[in-house]
Structure 1
Amino acid sequence: MAGGEFELIARHFSAFGRGPGVVLGVGDDAAVLSVPEGCELVTSVDTLVEGVHFPEDAFPEDIGYRCVAVAASDLAAMGASPLATTLALTLPEADDFWLHAFSEGIGQACSAFHLPLVGGDTTRGPRTISVQVFGVIERGRAVRRSGARPGDAVFVSGTPGDAAAGLAVLQSRWQPEPDHGEYLLGRYYRPTPRLVLGVQLPGIASAAIDVSDGLLQDLGHIAAASGCAIEILAEQLPLSAALQSHPDRQQQLAWALSGGDDYELCITLPQDRRPPGGFTRIGSVREGQGVVCEAAAGLEQAGYRHF
């Protein structure tokens, strides 16, 4: 790599490492983080591969922003506050223009989500990006997938389906009017991890998950972990005006229920509790197993498959 690995890191990434929980960041063998007394460390890692998780011609600034946002969404689902992040970057070559734009996106996301970049690795190979995030939560308060119970209500944040519709626009499978197209592409390239909502969930939500592989598939993980069934009422799904501009109602539902990549939060709550603002009720938990959505027959097992 031009200038060497350490010069590359110093030039493009070392400025993003300051934060209240960072004792030692980029530049040593390992980072040192401070976890507040009475808290537990929450961590997750996501890997994005060029041509699989983002198009080969995607603008590198958007790729950088997206890879941090995707990983940060897992912290939101657990109810954790962000602490820090690391980046492992595999590149076919040290393209300075690409790296500069990519690092701009990384910096924007680290700032927006309060995730200082404290370390990582670089190597040569097919373009692959792995982001590990760290968060903190009061001991014993992490929101899990396994707490849903029959009688709970099911809620989702935001408007699911937008990112899948944005991908359809990107792949020229749909051409909405320009304002709607710009909105949907933004929802694909620059998702918003619901960290502000997530930290309000401990003590309120019985279960939570972020919507990465499709609403039906991800709710299936809650149903399986909790040993119950979940019924979704498609007519209650909150759909954006941009998504509803598509003329085919079944296609709208397919994107909302099985498209994935929205990084919204889906939660279950006991009937005597109310969600934070920003959530819409879409169904209920009941006895049984699996996910049921009568208005979307054939989509229950759909969603993103990694293999």
Structure 2
Amino acid sequence: MTSGERLSEDELIARLFAPIAGAGAFSLKDDAARLQPPEGQDLVLTADALVAGVHFFATDPAGSVARKALRVNLSDLAAKGADPLGFLITVALPPDWTVDWLAAFAAALGEDAHRYHCPLLGGDTVRTPGPLTLSVTAFGALPTGRMVTRLGARPGDRILVTGTIGDASLGLALRSEPTSAWANVLSPAEKAHLADRYLQPEPRCLFARAIRDHANAAMDVSDGLVGDLAKLLKASGVSGELDLDAVPLSAAARAAIGARPQLLETAVTGGDDYEILCTVPEGRLTSLRAAADAAGVALSVIGEVQAGKGELAIRDQRGPRQFGRQSFSHF
């Protein structure tokens, strides 16, 4: 983001963000928005901050940064069984920001807001001497009393996950080691797949209703499958077993792990998957699979909830497994 045209805060809001604002935002001419939840529904709120150099590369395309900022929040809403209502965004711009970069950011943000029916309601724009920092607060709704928390897993539940695991963390590893021996094994298409999964997660919004209709507990996989499953089990006061052989992997991830087996740990502990992890009674599996098929979402059984006090046992066909870490942590 090199120097160039400069706009005042009011000018950049009017030019770049007001055109993508939704109803209740008053074209961003007020300092607050109005949000009315549908009758008979609860609001669900979530917030995530993204910092350049921590959650994305400062050189990533503006559009990818915008999409990731919104989608990681939409993933949280979907995992609670909620449908999006709108969002607020705070953008802290570094000294080298440009109007062109911010225009591309706002355009992509508007496209995703339209795609996921989650309009921009407001926010704030400030300057910072540090790296680009973004904070999104998203609002969703679901029928009263139907939010799916991490607290409801029960012994006998099957543990399931959507999509594939590890692509994003391997995409990050690929960015860090582009000329490594394992990277050279991958085809251009496989490299592109892993890179895109890191840049732009795909929130499972179409699966939200199925989660609230079938799951006892759920959360999105943001910090790593192993660590996030351990968090869910601990919150529910139960234990569980994870079958590593059942964890769904893309062809690109399998190729990478085949070339360097140690990358399996990266895949299952690295994070940024933004898939939905849930526990479901066995009697609801058939109907949940039908809902997943209707939503076009792949679904895999990867373990079982057991009685206990928050322990997670990990195994594969060779027996018990342990990893040096369970998940990504900021601290």
CA distance in structure 1 between the partners assigned to 2:266 and 2:219 by the alignment: 18
Matched, 1:149 2:157: no
Q: Is 1:217–1:300's contact at 8 Å kept on the other side of the alignment?
A: no
**Secondary structure of residue in 1 paired with 2:245:** helix
CA distance in structure 1 between the partners assigned to 2:157 and 2:232 by the alignment: 12
| Aligned counterpart in structure 1 of residue 267 of structure 2, from 253, 256, 280 | 256
RMSD: 1.7
Q: TM-score when scaled to structure 2?
A: 0.88
Residue in 2 aligned with 1:280?
300
CA distance in structure 2 between the partners assigned to 1:17 and 1:132 by the alignment: 15
Q: Which moved more, 1:297-306 or 1:121-130?
A: 297-306
Q: TM-score when scaled to structure 1?
A: 0.94
Q: Is 2:25–2:121's contact at 8 Å kept on the other side of the alignment?
A: no
Runs of 4+ with >3 A deviation: 22-25, 248-252
Residue in 2 aligned with 1:181?
191
- The Cα of 1:184 is off from its aligned counterpart by 1.1
Q: Which moved more, 1:295-304 or 1:159-168?
A: 295-304
Structure 1 residues 153 and 249: CA distance shift in structure 2, 3 A: farther
CA distance in structure 2 between the partners assigned to 1:201 and 1:215 by the alignment: 18
CA distance in structure 1 between the partners assigned to 2:210 and 2:25 by the alignment: 27
Q: Which moved more, 1:168-177 or 1:25-34?
A: 168-177
**Secondary structure of residue in 1 paired with 2:248:** coil
Q: Is 1:25–1:117's contact at 8 Å kept on the other side of the alignment?
A: no
| Aligned counterpart in structure 1 of residue 113 of structure 2, from 110, 115, 129 | 110
| Aligned counterpart in structure 1 of residue 79 of structure 2, from 77, 80, 85 | 77
Equivalences, count: 305
Deviation by residue 1:174-219 (Cα, 9 ceiling, x = unmatched): 3421000111111111111111112221131000010000001111
Percent identity between the two aligned chains: 39
Consecutive unaligned residues of structure 2, counting only runs of 5 or more, are 293-297
Deviation by residue 1:36-65 (Cα, 9 ceiling, x = unmatched): 111111111100011011112111111011
Write the letter of the residue equivalent to 1:41: L
CA distance in structure 2 between the partners assigned to 1:279 and 1:92 by the alignment: 41
| Aligned counterpart in structure 1 of residue 137 of structure 2, from 132, 135, 146 | 132
Q: Which has the higher helix share?
A: 2
- The Cα of 1:248 is off from its aligned counterpart by 3.9
**Secondary structure of residue in 2 paired with 1:219:** helix
CA distance in structure 2 between the partners assigned to 1:205 and 1:85 by the alignment: 25
| Aligned counterpart in structure 2 of residue 232 of structure 1, from 242, 247, 255 | 242
Q: Is 2:66–2:108's contact at 8 Å kept on the other side of the alignment?
A: yes
Matched, 1:291 2:312: yes
CA distance in structure 2 between the partners assigned to 1:248 and 1:281 by the alignment: 26
Write the letter of the residue equivalent to 2:264: L
Residue in 2 aligned with 1:4?
8
Q: Which moved more, 1:263-272 or 1:273-282?
A: 273-282
